[in-house]
Amino acid sequence: MAVKLKLVDVTKLKKASFLVSQETEKTIAEARVMLGKQEEFLQNGGMDRQKLRAFINSDHWTSQQKQKAREELLRFHNELKSDMARVASSKRKELSNANRLLEQRKITPATATRKQRSGFI
Amino acid sequence: MNPVNDVTKSSNINTLNPAEMSKQDFISAVYLERGEMLDSEVRRIIGEIDKSNEYVDAINSLIGKANLAEYGDNFYSSATWQVNGNSVVLDNGYGLNVQPDGNGGSSVTILDAEGNQLIYQNQTLIPVPAGTNVNALEVGIPVMNDMTFMLDDGTKLTLKVSTPGEAFNQQNLSGGLANVQSIVITRDNQGMRIDNLDTASPTFHTPTIETPTDYGAPEEAPVKTETITIPSHTIRTLWDDQDYEENYDFIDGDALTNFKNQWLPIMTDKSPAEQEALMEKLREKGSITISYDLGDSDGQDANYRQSYTYPVFSGDTVATLINRVVDRSGPDFRRYCEEEEDGDIDIQYLNMVIDIPSYSYESVIPDTPKTTLSKESKSFELNKTYDDAEDYDLIKSQARDLVNDIKLSYLHDLTPEQQEGLRRKLIQEGLRFDFYVEDDEFASSDDYNNWFSVGLVSGESLDDFFERAAEYTAKRMAGWIRFDEDESGIEIDDLDISVSIPAFSYDVYEQSDKPAEDNTNNPRPINIHSRDANNNDGHILIETGGIHSWEYGGKALSALTETNPNDSSNQVTGYFARKLAFQNSKSDEFDGTSPLLTQKEIDLLTKILKIPYADASSNGQLTPEEWVDLKESLINARDNLNGNSQLQTVQLQRAMQTYNQNYEAMSNAQQKIYSLLRDIISNMK
């Protein structure tokens, strides 16, 4: 009797919560390092958020330049957000697939359909 | 330069020349702005993941508690705690270490599996989270009165303290501190004690196990069952009227209500087992019959008799069945009478009867030796003479008088066992009323002599039965004279009524030597070591995520606030708040043996995770069953958070990618940007 084997991708199995916690903590730790670097970088220059804003919005730049900059920042922000949404949705898909991986799938016997000639060829 | 507004010095303005500023500067600034934007995004995600991790941790500890409640033994067959010299090893990673404190006393370190500590030293408890240093003055818990620490796994540590050397002074919040003398440790039926902690050489008592005296089912007086057979009988209501005032409306109206009012309470007062046995029998039989017998007197006397049979349904209870049978048959019988009578009706009497088949049921009786005693028969009689009274109701009222006499002089003196014996006798054999009526008509006297017997219906009290029997037999007697003997006008001269209460036997059971437990309030097996049972608990503190973290009265101990006794508008926090909280001695009793929910956990469940859970105790003392139910929801919640964290993580990783690129871009042009920053700064001056 033919046995149907189901291949399971172990890398995509549901993760235990402690594994996920570990992973998130690792990611967060890396992120914090970068946050620290950037903060330091800005501090070295004696810069802060308000000053930066004021500088960009100052009259040193033409209104066209400022407009361009604003558009550029908005585009960047939207791109980032949509990119994040995209990775999240693909992850969501992966998670739901992973949840289904080990589930016993019900096999409904396929109803035998005979291809019928639909007429003269 | 002339001083302007007292400003003498020039402010050394270094104006930025737009012509000197390149587009590159602007672009760099925009890059910086991007960096700021990314920064806030990343921080937001980190915050969310942190929170979600925190919830997962809390849920995991809750699941741990649920597992303990579900799988944890709630009794020990042998001692699991060990005393090694000055240390005690408890269950689930908890332990205790006693050292001399150098001042003639002992200090105690209590540890949990994670290495957190609770150190008792010099009349103060110091909670120390693993791997940190604390300031004893900030976190210290003053020892003033007995305290009970409930550990996560249900272990109880009760600190018994001596009287404070110096009483607590409310004015300056000084004094009141006491030495710990003993620690009583109990968990279910394991218990131990450490004494003389106020000396440098404390005494360790060996942990002991006590056989749970009532482990398992809740304690009850031992019982067994006995089969009781109820003979076939009838339940009947006889209504009579000398004035013939009722018409058809009575048949399907008041008559039915009377019947139901009389019998439904009695039928439903039977024990559930008896009701079920009766219904079983009726279902087996398939049907139930109700009979009507109506006497009519208008012109020519007539009897209308009719029986109706109804099926018994599987879903019927005694009440639904009797209601249905009575409600359906009443209108049918009225229609029957209307057709037969063909005109007005004057009802003399109406007798409604439902036949009850014989059935057996199991009755619960004490499973202790019994003695069967007997009580001899006793007769009562009431004889009265009247002056040619023309009222049949006299029979009723005299029978009632007799019964009142019996109640006072006999029934109320019976013990409960005797009452039960008499009830059973009367169910089987009934009670017989003898009547003798002398009717004086023109000196030629007719004597009416008859007796009627009526059986007690199980579920009826003796008092109720005697009243019903008197009334029923009196009505029967009157009816017999009126209709069967065809007496046209009675003039009662002499009326004698006598009742003979039969001899009966009754069982007296020996009292079980164990008192019956209060099962409703304490449905769980009680399995408490005598060291716990014999010691009152003091202020109760509950572990919340490690032995360094405690909850008192639903609040985190570290965040406890108390009203300043010297200034009610002022709140005291920290060490002195704890002093105020523990200043009075308290002997609470906490008898939970399985893990309990802390207030923090209750808040997490109800406010954040929105997980509904059953808590019959309503104070977080879940039963093992409730824990198991909660665990399922917890695992689902954890899975959700788990998936959520993974989503957040990929978003964070994605954001970091851009963040890093942006940073690279900024720092590659570092020189450029530094000069830009310098320019900006100088411009801002």
Candidates A52, A78, A97, partner chain B, best to mutate (most B CBs within 10 A): A52
For residue B88, give both structure tokens: 């005690």
Six token digits for residue B556:
């985190």
Residues of B (457-496) whose Cβ lies below 8 Å from A: none
- Name, in order, each residue with C-beta under 8 angstroms of B165's C-beta and a sequence gap of 6 or more: B175, B177, B178
Flag whether residue B38 sits within 8 Å of chain A, measured between CB atoms: yes
- Per residue in B618-634, pLDDT (tens digit) is 777 788 788 888 888 88
Q: How many beta-carbon contacts under 8 Å exist across A and B? A: 140
Q: How far apart are CA B478 and CA B487, in angstroms?
A: 10
Q: Do domains B23-73+623-684 and B220-367 have the same CATH topology?
A: no
B41/A28 Cβ within 8 A: no
- What proportion of chain A, given as a percentage, has pLDDT over 90? 9
**pLDDT score for B47:** 92
Closest Cβ–Cβ partner in B34, B643, B673 for A95: B643
Give the pLDDT of residue B523.
40
Q: Which of A4-13, A32-41, B302-311, B354-363 has the lowest mean pLDDT?
A: A4-13
Q: How confident is the model at residue B5 (pLDDT cuts 50, 70, 90)?
A: very low
Interface subset of A 14-43, CB within 8 angstroms of B:
15, 17-18, 20-21, 23-25, 27-28, 30-32, 34-35, 37-39, 41-42
Q: Which residue has the higher pLDDT, B292 or B344?
A: B292
Least confident of B22-26, B384-388, B464-468: B22-26
Does B370 score more than 80 pLDDT? yes
From the list B21, B33, B50, which residue is nearest A52 (CB)? Answer: B33
Closest partner CB to B645 (pick from A24, A31, A61): A24
User: In the predicted model, is pLDDT for residue B2 greater than 80?
Assistant: no
Contact B244, B307 (CB under 8 A): no
Residues 6+ apart with CB under 8 A from B75: B188, B189, B212, B215, B527
Domain range annotation of chain B = 23-73+623-684, 82-215+529-593, 220-367, 369-516
> Using 50, 70 and 90 to split pLDDT, how confident is the model at B122?
confident
Q: What is the mean pLDDT of residues A75-84?
A: 90
For B677, the closest chain A residue by CA position comes to A45
Residue B648 contacts A where some CB pair is shorter than 8 Å: yes
Check whether A2 has a pLDDT greater than 70. no
Minimal C-alpha gap between A24 and chain B (Å): 6
Q: Which residues contact B191 (CB under 8 A, 6 or more apart)?
A: B184, B185, B207, B208, B210, B529, B530, B531, B532
Q: Which two tokens stand for residue B406?
A: 């019996």
pLDDT cut 70: percent of chain B above it: 86
pLDDT of B516 higher than 60: no
Least trusted range by pLDDT, from A8-12, B217-221, B248-252: B217-221
**pLDDT given at position B354:** 92
| Architecture of the structural domain at B220-367 | 2-Layer Sandwich (3.30)
Q: In this model, does residue B514 exceed pLDDT 80?
A: no
Does B46 contact A28 at a Cβ distance shorter than 8 Å?
A: yes
Which pLDDT score, from 0 to 100, does residue B608 have? 86
Domain B23-73+623-684 is of which CATH architecture?
Orthogonal Bundle (1.10)
pLDDT given at position B591: 62
- Taking only the tens place, the pLDDT of each residue in A16-25 is 777 888 888 8
* Average pLDDT rounded to a whole number, residues B182-205: 88
ipTM of this predicted structure: 0.76
Mean pLDDT of chain B: 82
Give chain A's mean pLDDT.
76
pLDDT attached to residue B3: 41
Q: For position B434, what pLDDT does the model report?
A: 92
| Chain B residues touching A30 at Cβ < 8 A | 656
Q: What is the pLDDT of residue B164?
A: 84
Task: State whether A47 and B32 contact (CB < 8 Å).
Answer: yes
Interchain proximity B650–A88, CB inside 8 Å: yes
Residues of B in contact with A91 (CB under 8 A): 646-647, 650
> How many other C-beta atoms can be found within 10 angstroms of the C-beta atom of residue B526?
16
Contacts of A17 in chain B (CB under 8 A): 56, 60, 638-639, 641-642
A84-112 average pLDDT score: 75
- Listed by start position, the domains of chain A span 16-47
* Shortest CA gap B547–chain A (Å): 22
SS3 for B652-677 is HHHHHHHHHHHHHHHHHCHHHHHHHH
Top CATH class, B369-516: alpha beta
Predicted confidence (pLDDT) at residue B673 exceeds the cutoff of 80? no
Give the mean model confidence (pLDDT) for residues B88-97.
Answer: 89
B16 with A60: Cβ contact below 8 A: yes
Supply B411's token pair: 């029934």
Question: Is the CB of A13 inside 8 Å of chain B's CB atoms?
Answer: no
Alpha-carbon separation of residue B405 from B410, B470, B480, B502, B604 (angstroms): 8, 12, 25, 17, 68
Q: Does B43 contact chain A (CB < 8 Å)?
A: yes
For B392-443, write each residue's pLDDT tens digit: 888 888 998 999 889 888 888 888 889 889 998 999 888 999 998 888 766 5
- Taking alpha carbons only, the member of B680, B685, B661 closest to residue B35 is B661
B112-136: b or e for each residue (b if 16 or more CB lie within 10 Å)? Answer: beeebbbbbbbbbbbbbbeeeeeeb
Between B174 and B669, whose confidence is greater? B174
- Interacting residues of B634 by C-beta distance below 8 A, sequence separation 6+: B59, B62, B63, B66, B611
Poorest-pLDDT segment among A46-55, A98-107, B549-558, B606-615: A98-107
| A9 Cα to chain B: minimum distance (Å) | 18
Using the Cβ of A95 and the Cβ atoms of chain B, whether some distance falls under 8 Å is answered with: yes
Whole-number Cα distances in Å, A33 to A26, A42, B33, B39, B189: 11, 14, 19, 12, 52
**pLDDT on residue B110:** 92
